[in-house]
Structure 1
Amino acid sequence: MEVREATPADGEEIRSVATASLRETYADPLGEDIVEHAADEWYTPDRLDDRLAAEDIAYLVAEAGDGVVGFSESELDGDAAAAIQWLHVHPDARGDGVGVELLERTEAALRERGAARVEGRVLAANDVGNEFYQDHGFSRSGDVELDVGGETHTEHRYVKLPTGGAELTEQRETDDRTLWVAFDERERGSQAPFYAAYGSAERTDKYGFYCANCESANTAMNTMGRVTCNSCGNERRASRWDAAYL
């Protein structure tokens, strides 16, 4: 098996793997119409070409036998963090070590590109995916409620930090109060990340979000989970599942 950077020539096989993997994993909890719609939206030739060409996207494919059997799609952020958006293995190739090799190579590639923190995101309904991250050194960092096709689903967030890394919770003086900012609970923003903010170091009382762009906690979240900084206009970027809203 060879793991390498993806190219536009891999597009058709990437779409095939993604469709088969999404259908196998999510057709039951989400519904086949959601899965088919998501695959059609995310893996159009134009969007895939744009993602492959983007400097902040890392795309790797695992090739075995006659073609691509798995791939990973990750996003790098300006604060030395990277999020693995998708790690798909074709159902026929599962159990052969493809996912493990792909994850290890993906982590290495992201760290080579400056990521000090690697995150993973898995819907709670995906038991195998959650176990996969937990078995490979990722720690659960939080949950997010997502609206997918008009129904609420929980997404588990995972993070892996280098040994001896920075403190996960830091005290910050912001606006008119003292908050503890959780740097392992992060949301991507249009200008800079948002981090969960708590009223104590124990994280028992969540206050809201801390905007890394202007170092303010003057933020708001609407009923759809959209976070906005009222001080500088920084906004949470769309979720990977936003394309599946029907």
Structure 2
Amino acid sequence: MELREATIDDVETIRSIARDSLHSTYTDFLDSETIDDAIDQWYSDGFADELESDDAVVLVVERDDELVGYSQSDLVGQQYGTGRILWLHIDPAARGSGTGVRLLVRTREKLLDSGADQIECFVLADNEGGNEFYREHGFERAGQRKVDIGEETFTENVYVEQDLGDEGWGTVDELDIDGTTVYVNYGEAARGSQSPFYVAYEDQERTTQYGWFCGNCDSLENAMGSMGQIECNVCGNQRKATRWDASYL
């Protein structure tokens, strides 16, 4: 899995994924014509210009060299202090493999790296699956707002990160990797040269650490050295040593 910033060359595929995703999820309360009109309006020629904007963050996710999802966010407020995840779409054929969770995590990380100190997520109140997704992955509803789609007005729920005290934000994903079941906590991350590493546990309660999950190639073939360095034996992603060993001084 590769996650990267979107480019002009991705626009047509992004539009196609948005159309397929909305048709598979929203037709219970939006008719097909309204969806198509909205897609044409949202992802017209102006969307390419948005990719170049300093306050826009659009990420795409690829599997086997094929784009299967994207997130669309922006930075607003004083000094761009609020990162808003406006859309997160996964191709219906690629759902159920944890791709959406990984895209959510990386989008959050990108917004924080870009200067945001709080994250908001938006999803239509009628989209039961979308609301459940955010509730299950470290967010809670904080309010609502009205949005116009076509000639109709809908209620959109606003989610913020749950207050977990000293633990901070986190979401745990159960993964089966080469026959091994691990529980990856995306709230415990270490910066890598290509992508973050995340702590993987043997149990859902997170009492016993299994190792480190490489966010670049989805492997567990790595370990932390005595000075905090981590290197993935599969893709070469690495985290440099973070402290001096006193015995060398």
Find the aligned partners of 1:11 and 1:147 in 2 and give their Cα distance.
23
1:140 deviation in Å? Answer: 0.6
- Check whether the contact 1:81–1:116 (CA below 8 A) recurs between aligned residues: yes
CA RMSD, Structure 1 to Structure 2 (Å): 1.7
SS in 1 for 2:89: strand
The aligned counterpart of 1:81 is 82
Please state if 1:25 is matched with 2:21: no
The aligned counterpart of 1:173 is none
Find the aligned partners of 1:114 and 1:128 in 2 and give their Cα distance.
29
SS in 2 for 1:99: helix
Find the aligned partners of 2:3 and 2:82 in 1 and give their Cα distance.
22
1:3 deviation in Å? Answer: 0.5
- Check whether the contact 2:38–2:149 (CA below 8 A) recurs between aligned residues: no
Find the aligned partners of 2:77 and 2:132 in 1 and give their Cα distance.
29
1:25 deviation in Å? Answer: 1.3
Which residues in structure 2 correspond to 1:58-207 (within 5 Å)?
Answer: 58-79=57-78, 80-160=81-161
- Check whether the contact 2:134–2:159 (CA below 8 A) recurs between aligned residues: yes
SS in 2 for 1:54: coil
- Check whether the contact 2:5–2:60 (CA below 8 A) recurs between aligned residues: yes
Q: 1:84 to 1:37 in 2, by over 3 A?
A: same
- Tell me how many residue pairs correspond in the alignment: 164
SS in 2 for 1:28: coil
> Which deviations, in whole Å up to 9, do the C-alpha atoms of 1:163-219 show, x marking residues without a partner?
669xxxxxxxxxxxxxxxxxxxxxxxxxxxxxxxxxxxxxxxxxxxxxxxxxxxxxx
1:161 deviation in Å? Answer: 6.5
The aligned counterpart of 1:218 is none
Find the aligned partners of 1:152 and 1:11 in 2 and give their Cα distance.
27
| Larger relative contact order (CA 8 Å, sep ≥ 6) | 1
Q: 1:163 to 1:69 in 2, by over 3 A?
A: same
**What letter matches 1:119 in structure 2?**
E
**What letter matches 2:59 in structure 1?**
L
1:153 deviation in Å? Answer: 2.1
The aligned counterpart of 1:6 is 6
**What letter matches 2:97 in structure 1?**
D
- Check whether the contact 1:117–1:162 (CA below 8 A) recurs between aligned residues: no
- Check whether the contact 1:73–1:86 (CA below 8 A) recurs between aligned residues: yes
1:99 deviation in Å? Answer: 0.3
The aligned counterpart of 2:179 is none
Which residues in structure 2 correspond to 1:206-245 (within 5 Å)?
Answer: none
- Check whether the contact 1:118–1:161 (CA below 8 A) recurs between aligned residues: no
* Unmatched tracts of structure 1, length 5 or more: 166-246
% same residue: 48
Q: 1:149 to 1:38 in 2, by over 3 A?
A: closer
Find the aligned partners of 1:162 and 1:55 in 2 and give their Cα distance.
29
- Normalising by structure 1, we get a TM-score of 0.63
Find the aligned partners of 1:121 and 1:8 in 2 and give their Cα distance.
25
SS in 2 for 1:35: helix
Find the aligned partners of 1:4 and 1:148 in 2 and give their Cα distance.
29
Find the aligned partners of 1:98 and 1:162 in 2 and give their Cα distance.
25
**What letter matches 1:133 in structure 2?**
Y
- Normalising by structure 2, we get a TM-score of 0.62
Find the aligned partners of 1:148 and 1:58 in 2 and give their Cα distance.
22
- Check whether the contact 2:21–2:91 (CA below 8 A) recurs between aligned residues: yes
